[in-house]
Chains A and B, each alone.
Chain A
Amino acid sequence: MNEPVLQTEALSKHYGGGKKPVLALDQLSLTADRGEIFGFLGPNGAGKTTTIKLLLDLIRPDSGHARLFGLDVNQHSVEIRRRVGYLPGELALWNGQTAAHVIAYFGKLRGGLDARFVGELQQRLEFDPGKKIREYSSGNKRKLGLILALMHKPELLILDEPTSGLDPLVQQTFLQLMREARAAGQTVFLSSHMLSEVQAICDRVGILRAGKLEEVKRVSDLMNQDYRVVTLRLREPASNGLFSSLPSVTGLEVNGHQATFRLQGDFNPLLDALRGVYIEDIGVAEPSLEDIFLTYYGDHPTNGVVPTAQKQLRQEVAS
């Protein structure tokens, strides 16, 4: 049996000592296999970056273990980092140095570079390495970060919000690079709240909330949920009362003559409840990953509502 490339067991981390330590990660156990793209989803503060820093041995867990390539991340830290490419959420580098110098320096620290491959990455990401770091926009810094993470063809890529700040064309290039990495047998562990990119490339996703892993599923399974998103346009103004007797309706949003909700199970109870109501239009859609994602953080019937977190998440999803 193949050993997972990435494995955590009951990994926990608190921040801040004293009387009120904050629990950033709570008993996280997950695995990622060779050649897999694993998406790590969650709103800000959910524990995504903490997990990544633990995997890279930048911070140490209070309890639990993390292993990459079967090796303990603390005991074999240097060996592991040789085989990992990392893109932080916010890339900071020495402002007075040129990108070309930073690439060369990091290449030396990694024991050498494939200059042709680096040139190819620069070309595909449309990146000019001749400028000083301070002269780059945030999008260009992101491109540099991707080059630094990819340039040594690592077995495992750990990417924290990789497409944040990239323009749509470069995002497409990034997605293509990730598909090529997977085809080459590389594993990708990426954190994101860009659901479209997760839906486009990830094989599995882990959904994190307040430091706890809520769910790990294949994207295809997650998409195959037992509900549909229904939008009705009525002649008369819609009201919540129309749907109050239907337990199969959740996430109801009423806006004037329009009502949008999730419908579980059959349509018949809905049609019965709407008997006598004039319906101008009906739209039925499979749930997007965004809809599914929101059920984990928002008004999911079983997990309670955290209004501020839900609001923040909706803003992030919208952005």
Chain B
Amino acid sequence: MTGKIFVETLRRNWRIMLYWGIGMGLYGVMITVAVLDDKSLQQIMQVIETMPSFIIQGFMGGADIEFMSSADGYFAIKFFSMALLIYSLYAVTAGLAVTANDEDAGIMDVFLSMPVPRWAVMLERALAFAVMMIGVLALTYLGVLIGSMFVPQVSYDLVHIGVTFANIYPSMIFVLSMTVLFGVLFRRRSVALGVTAAVVAGSYFLDFVASGAPDSFLGTLGYLSYFRFNDGVRVMQFGLEPLNIGLLVAVAVLLLALALWRFQKRDIGL
């Protein structure tokens, strides 16, 4: 590994990272300033309490109503319950850019005539996107910090919010690795995209439904969804869950290792 592919990948994709970061940052600002005072929060909670319990469970997971009526709880439910789904889209586009896009366009043939090992191409690009994911999360967090300055009357726990942003990262890495693997297995960009999108959407739906019935078989089935291991609302209230993080990172590493092995072995550009 020389780092040249890593640097080139950063150079070519930092603008997209910036757009994603700014977009999500503005979303963060919007959510942050939406809470004006405690009275508004109480009103929102009264609305939430009228909802069926399985919907409340689906959005709030293990968090309690008291937490939900705080500014942090409100932010958690408004932002973090959807955030991973949106960040997953970025991770999918990044994963496709590791090998699938170039192979589908016929560029990989020329690129692999350079004196670089196949594994280095994949690893350096994946690492560059992993770094850019930190950038997207950091820019979003910056948006939240800026937003919080507009509402000094609301007391956000910005450290907890920061920790919850960090908690999203292992899941993004997982989606990145999964997409890279699908890109290598299916060769065609469109097929890899379709399969990955189905897994992401299916996981989100499964987690939402399973959270509404935690004691049933469906609840157990929910553990098949990576969203289950990234409960932003719980993390906001109780802190990081190292077991979940470790599990996501371990699976992500395993998927990337599989992708590396397969890419090293198989024919290119058929």
Q: Which residues of A are in contact with B by a Cβ distance under 8 Å?
A: 15, 53, 56, 58-60, 77-79, 81-82, 84, 86, 88, 90-94, 97, 105-106, 108-111, 145, 148
Contact = CB atoms under 8 A, between A and B. Distances in A.
Given A53-B267, A88-B109, 12 more contacts: A15-B270, A59-B268, A78-B116, A81-B112, A81-B116, A86-B110, A88-B110, A88-B113, A92-B109, A108-B4, A110-B114, A148-B110
Given A92-B105, A92-B110, A93-B110, A81 B267 contact: no
Most A-side CB within 10 Å, residue of B4, B107, B265? B107
Interface string B198-239: 000000000000000000000000000000000000000000
Contacts of B114: 81, 106, 109-110
A88 B117 CA distance: 19
29 contacts: A53-B267, A53-B268, A56-B113, A58-B112, A59-B269, A59-B270, A60-B266, A60-B267, A77-B117, A81-B113, A81-B114, A81-B115, A84-B113, A86-B113, A88-B106, A90-B106, A92-B105, A92-B107, A92-B109, A92-B110, A93-B107, A94-B12, A105-B8, A106-B114, A109-B2, A109-B5, A109-B115, A109-B116, A145-B110
Most B-side CB within 10 Å, residue of A79, A88, A148? A88
A110 B267 contact: no
Interface residues of B, number: 22
Instruction: Determine chain B's interface SS by DSSP, over half rule.
Output: loop
A94 B107 contact: yes
Contacts of A86: 110, 113
Nearest to A57: B112
A84 B112 CA distance: 12
B207 to A, nearest CB: 37
Nearest to A145: B110
A188 to B, nearest CB: 15
A66 B2 CA distance: 28
A109 B110 CA distance: 12
Nearest to A148: B110
Interface string B1-29: 01011001000100000000000000000
B85 to A, nearest CB: 28
A35 to B, nearest CB: 22
Contacts of A84: 113
Contacts of B116: 78, 81, 109
B125 to A, nearest CB: 13
A82 B269 contact: no
Contacts of B105: 92
B115 A91 contact: no
B184 to A, nearest CB: 15
Nearest to A149: B113
A149 to B, nearest CB: 8
A91 B110 contact: yes
A125 B40 CA distance: 71
A109 B4 CA distance: 7
Nearest to A97: B12
B115 A59 contact: no
Given A78-B115, A78-B117, A92-B110, A59 B4 contact: no
A79 B117 CA distance: 10
A56 B267 CA distance: 11
A58 B109 CA distance: 7
Nearest to B114: A109
A172 B127 CA distance: 45
A105 B2 CA distance: 13
A58 B5 CA distance: 19
Q: Which 7 A-B pairs have the closest CB atoms?
A: A92-B106, A86-B113, A82-B115, A59-B267, A109-B114, A81-B115, A58-B268
Nearest to A79: B115
A235 B206 CA distance: 88
Contacts of B112: 56, 58, 81
A110 B270 contact: no
A23 B265 CA distance: 20
A78 B1 CA distance: 12
A6 to B, nearest CB: 15
A53 B109 contact: yes
Contacts of B270: 15, 59
Nearest to A92: B106
Contacts of B106: 88, 90, 92
B260 to A, nearest CB: 15
A38 B23 CA distance: 56
A86 B268 CA distance: 15
A102 to B, nearest CB: 9
Nearest to A82: B115
Contacts of A53: 109, 267-269
A58 B8 contact: no
Nearest to B118: A77
Contacts of B2: 109
Contacts of A77: 117
Contacts of B5: 109
Nearest to A83: B115
Nearest to B7: A108
B224 to A, nearest CB: 30
Nearest to B110: A88
Nearest to A160: B109
A210 B12 CA distance: 42
A93 B12 CA distance: 14
Contacts of B268: 53, 58-59
